Amino acid sequence: MTGETVLNDTEHQPRDFIGYGPKPPFVRWPNGVKLAINLVLNYEEGSEYSWLEDGRNDNWGEYNIPNSPPVRDLGTETHFEYGSRAGVWRLARLFDRYNVPVTVSACAVALERNPAVIEWMNARGHDLLGHGLRWSEYSTLDRNEEERQLHEAIGLYKKLTGRRPLGWNCRSFPSVNTRDLIVKEGGFLYYSDPCNDDLPYYADHDGTRLLVVPYSKTLNDSRYLIAPGYSNPRDFAEDCRSAIDYMIDEADETGGRMLTIGVHARWMGQPNRASGLREVIEHVSNKPAAAFMRREDIARHWLENHE
């Protein structure tokens, strides 16, 4: 990493408060695009915590329930099922209609439980971002268990999709071991847990250079469940449009920009919310300076042009 660092002796991951500073690299995206927008479809349904498998309920269905009762929560289970039964297909139709390339951040077990999603991904050429064996809180796992799940997930991705993920992004936030395990595992083009920049960058991890393609929780449909957040689809659409227009203007001064928009099958797949995403897609289609790009393509472009 660049800049002043503060080393945490426990975590062995220095922090960087400077990054590129006032002079980010001048980026030229393919075809003269000023803003590369990565639309990430998070697909987790069927891999979340459940009473039958874990003796606990997940709390991120249609409501964010901080303290779930110690009984089977059939309501939250069916909220997740909506994403896999209906929501993902509404979004797939939307992406197909506008020919939008997306990155599917999917848990391996979720894909295993809905093979038709894999068929759609492969047929449409969408790239895969590793999102864990299951939608687990990796920040609380010990190192050996996290490593076991990483190995098992990669093997299951290969078996199901015919390919391994080239990037990785955990639920919520990683553990202090995640980055080290990603580097040790090898085979990844990039890593996407950090949310600390507008552009890809290289991080030094014990002598190994790791490309980071930052994620973002800012333009994310999880804000429908938290406060302050989105109360209706217009909020989401306007938030995205504001960021898109600002970054296109900014690119004249700084060079190309990158933007991540994150959606989930069970949330954005609801018809009212999908209408807001449709507005964003139509807005981008009317902006020649902006284009949707898969995360893998952004990573490869960076490796080829900003080595």
Of 235, 226, 215, 249, the C-alpha closest to 277 is 235
Distance in angstroms (rounded) separating the CA atoms of residues 115 and 256: 37
What would the mean pLDDT of 242-262 be, rounded to a whole number?
A: 97
Predicted local distance difference test score (pLDDT) of residue 11: 54
Q: Convert 225-252 to b/e letters by CB count within 10 Å (16 or more is b).
A: beeeebeebeebbebbeebbeebbeebe
Predicted local distance difference test score (pLDDT) of residue 2: 45
Distance in angstroms (rounded) separating the CA atoms of residues 73 and 6: 43
The pTM score is 0.93
Is 90 exceeded by the pLDDT of residue 290? yes
Is 60 exceeded by the pLDDT of residue 4? no
Q: Which residue has the tokens 């306007």?
A: 238
Q: Which long-range contacts (CB under 8 A, 24 or more apart) does 160-165 make?
A: 160/108, 160/111, 160/112, 160/115, 160/118, 161/111, 161/118, 161/121, 161/122, 161/128, 162/122, 163/128, 165/128, 165/129, 165/130
Predicted local distance difference test score (pLDDT) of residue 93: 98
Cis peptide before 14 (omega within 30 of 0): no
CA distances from 283 to 15, 118, 138, 159, 286 (A): 36, 28, 36, 38, 5
Q: Which two tokens stand for residue 8?
A: 């945490």
Mean pLDDT score of the chain = 92
Percent of the chain with pLDDT over 70: 96
Q: Which tens digits make up the pLDDT trace of 46-105?
A: 999 899 998 888 887 777 777 778 899 888 899 999 999 999 999 999 999 999 999 999
Distance in angstroms (rounded) separating the CA atoms of residues 263 and 43: 9
Identify whether the C-beta of residue 241 lies closer than 8 Å to the C-beta of residue 276. no
What domains can be seen in the chain, in order of their start residue? 35-55+69-305 (3.20.20.370)
What would the mean pLDDT of 143-169 be, rounded to a whole number?
A: 96
What would the mean pLDDT of 161-177 be, rounded to a whole number?
A: 94
Q: Which tens digits make up the pLDDT trace of 187-222?
A: 999 999 999 999 999 999 988 999 999 999 999 999
Residue 5: pLDDT band by 50, 70, 90 thresholds? very low
Nearest-5° Cα angle at 268, 275 to 120: 100
Paired with 201 in beta bridges are 212
Largest CA distance in the chain: 56
Predicted local distance difference test score (pLDDT) of residue 7: 39
